[in-house]
Structures are given as structure tokens and as C-alpha cells.
Amino acid sequence: MKIVIVDYGSGNLRSVQRSFERAGFPSEITRDPNIVAEASHLVVPGVGAFSDCMDNLEKLGLLEPIRDFIQAEKPYLGICLGLQILFSEGTEFGAKPGLGILPGQVVRFPKTDLKVPHMGWNQIRIQQETPLLKNIPNGSYFYFVHSYYGAPKEKNCIATTTDYGVSFPSAVAQGRLFACQFHPEKSQALGRKLLENFAKL
């Protein structure tokens, strides 16, 4: 097993790595496209802007290795931006193409009385059973920090939803791909359980 965490200049990489270590699984942080290609399990975490993420991945030569990895149906875990870049297009700071794995857009929360970014603990509602949600109860709380979310055209990829002014997809799943808008590395025991489930794929 070779769990690889992609480093494209975003923060929180070490916290993701430490969470895997606490779950009993060593992992490697890299920005080397060859190491990405050799991974058995790939993790793309991230905080920040969609367009910056895509630009950095392109500059580092990581877009094609990530796309190839997913299309080879190997285990992929996207966290926050690692979920958003799967979509056809992001809308933050103007339209920007994503990886195009999932048809749909990344959109901002609509204006309501609720503060944006959506920050803190919130519940997930499980919409489909996936291996990564094994032994994670429906209604569990996970930690979120985001202003945008993915809106897929095809609803059958939605794994969980969460309510924050609107009901939005908080995780997606397709084959051995799983991506969550929440942060498992900040979500204590249940977050570690999700990472453990991923490592065991």
C-alpha cells in the first residue's frame, strides 16, 4: 500500500498525514507526478480558491496524473477543494474548468441570514452506502470550512447531504472515488474512521 497526499501549495497537508498516522496508516506527501502515478491510494486535500488550486496543479504537472489515477479506478479521496476540482467548472473569481470527472458546477452558498463561509460542525445525511461511510452513523457531525459547494448534474453520485440554508451535497462517491466537502482530519474519531475505511479499500 502506498497512500500519497498531493502537495500543490495548499495548507493542512501535515494534519491529514497525522490523521492517517493516528489511524495506523503511513502516508507520503509529494508534488512529484511520478510518485502520484505510482500511488495505490491518492488523497487531494485543500483549502483556498478553486482557480488557484487548478492553476497550481497545472504548473506542477499534476492534473493529468490525478485524472489518469481516477480514470484507472484506483482509490481517490478528495477533501474540500479535492472534491470541488472534480467538477466541470468552478465559479469562484469567474468560470474556471475543473477536472471534469463529475458533470456540474461549484457554486457559492445563496444569500441568507446564515454567515458564509459555512464554518464549524454540521450533520451529514447519508444518501447512499459507500465503503468509506462504514460504521459512520447517519446524522454524524463533521467539521466544515467553505463558501462554495459542488452541485452535480447527476444526483446518483451524491453520498451525503448537509443543510446550511440549502441542502447541499457534502460528499460524493463514484466507484472507488470518494470526496467530501467536510474535513475528516478535523473531525476527531469519526474523521479518523473515514480515513481508515479509505486506507482499507
Alpha-carbon 73 to chain mean position: 16
Tell me the pLDDT band of 2, cut-offs 50, 70 and 90. Answer: very high
Supply the pLDDT for residue 157: 97
Examine the residue annotation and report whether 21 is marked as an active-site residue of this protein: no
The mean pLDDT value for 106-112 works out to: 95
pTM for this entry: 0.96
Share of the chain above pLDDT 90, in %: 94
Average of pLDDT values for 6-15?
A: 88
C-alpha cell at 101: 470527472
Q: Which of 41, 118, 146, 183 is catalytic?
A: 183
Choosing from 41, 180, 185, 196, the catalytic residue is: 185
Cell of 159: 453520498
* Mean pLDDT, residues 14-30: 95
Q: Which domains does the chain have, with CATH numbers?
A: 3-199 (3.40.50.880)
12 and 181 Cβ atoms separated by less than 8 Å:
no
Residue with cell 463561509: 117
80 is catalytic: yes
pLDDT tens, 61-73? 999 999 999 999 9
Among the options 53, 80, 157, 180, which is catalytic? 80
Q: At residue 151, what is the residue type? A: A
pLDDT in tens, 51-62: 999 999 999 999
